[in-house]
Amino acid sequence: MDGKLVSSWYNLHSSVPQSYVQPPERQPCNAVHVLSTNQKVPVIDLGGHDRDDIIRNIIKASEEYGFFQVVNHGVAKELMDDTYKIFKEFHAMLANEKVRESSKDPNGSCKLYTSCGGNINDVAKYWKDSLEHRCPPSGEFTWYWPEKPDGYREIVGRYTQELRALALRILDLISEGLELNPNYFTGELSDSPVVISHHYPPCPEPSLTLGAPQHKDPNILTILFQQPEITALQILKDGAWIPIEPIPNAFVIISNGRLKGAEHRVITNSSTSRYTIAYFIYPRKEAIIGPAKPLLSSTSPPIYSSMEFGEMLENLYNKGPNFENELHL
């Protein structure tokens, strides 16, 4: 495994290996979609006093973009900095140490991989290494988390607890904005969260490859912490790629469902490693995923068929994004 990690060999090559070269239509500088520099995703101040205004802004941003950034969210800057530092230290360890620290659970609740991992077969690989593990509120998988660097479990444990509280707060605001019952998203729809730290090493030919493909997140909500000063995340809107510029101490929020699930991708750069931390709100595998009944009517029928979340994920991983077309009613 250690020989497969991009971080183990990226600096030994003056060009991108052929297996990482994207088809021309996917390469960042192609002409299929233009790059927009005059559009920005909304920034929402969660510390404001007008709750109704915050809800309106969240719903509007989610419907129009599927993305927004939040500031004054209540997560301490010191904790964000400590978590960023501990993940950066993990990815800087020797490859065999990283593999050993992320391989303690034979069932794979904690894992280290390159590209997209899983069973996804694609025409090219993606320029990143990722550490992924489950972090449910019960804490049942903590013993499988890395113990190194020192303090990893304690820092990441506090961070994921804070991110869960923030996620539930945002989901409650969304529930209110959609006129759903309070706490609609609590319980089986949100109690299987996952945290993933991504490392994107410098790439000798950024115009030929991608750090992450054009995709939609297959979960309820994503909270992303971006490394400051490096703009690499882009969302697709109205035929144009919009860069998501990092705001100090802000989180990027990615919504899904009636609130637009925006397509996005990650580009690479030739000079600097980039690190991000993604917190995904996942339902339980046995939870039935389908439209909220209060939102259905004769003029607003369901678009997708319902199924267990685990079945949906398995199909998505085996069939790729085109599986979405099979769900249409």
In the chain, DSSP finds a helix count (H) and a strand count (E) of 7, 15
| pLDDT for the residue 32 | 67
The whole-model pTM stands at: 0.92
Which pLDDT score, from 0 to 100, does residue 296 have?
79
Give CA torsion, residues 213, 214, 220, 226, to 10 deg: 70
pLDDT at res. 299: 78
The predicted pLDDT at position 258 comes to: 54
Q: What is the pLDDT of residue 111?
A: 96
Q: How far apart are CA 22 and CA 20, in angstroms?
A: 6
**pLDDT in the model for residue 31:** 61
CB atoms within 10 A of CB 55: 18
- The whole-number pLDDT of residue 1 equals 47
> What pLDDT does 150 receive?
97
Residue 269 in tokens? 């750069």
Which domains are assigned to the chain? 5-9+16-23+32-284 (2.60.120.330), 297-329 (no CATH)
> Residues 232, 201: contact at Cβ < 8 Å?
no
* Helical packing angle, 51-64 and 152-177, nearest 10°: 90
Retrieve residue 174's tokens. Answer: 């969304």
* DSSP code of residue 208: T
Output the tens digit of pLDDT for each of the chain's 329 residues: 455 899 999 999 899 999 999 999 899 977 667 788 788 999 999 999 999 999 999 999 999 999 999 999 999 999 999 999 999 999 999 999 999 999 999 999 999 999 987 655 678 999 999 999 999 998 999 999 999 999 999 999 999 999 999 999 999 999 999 999 888 998 898 999 999 999 999 999 999 999 999 888 888 999 999 999 899 999 998 888 999 999 999 999 987 655 556 889 999 999 999 999 999 999 999 988 877 887 877 777 877 778 888 888 887 777 665 666 666 65
pLDDT of residue 301: 80
Q: Are 287 and 220 in contact (CB under 8 A)?
A: no
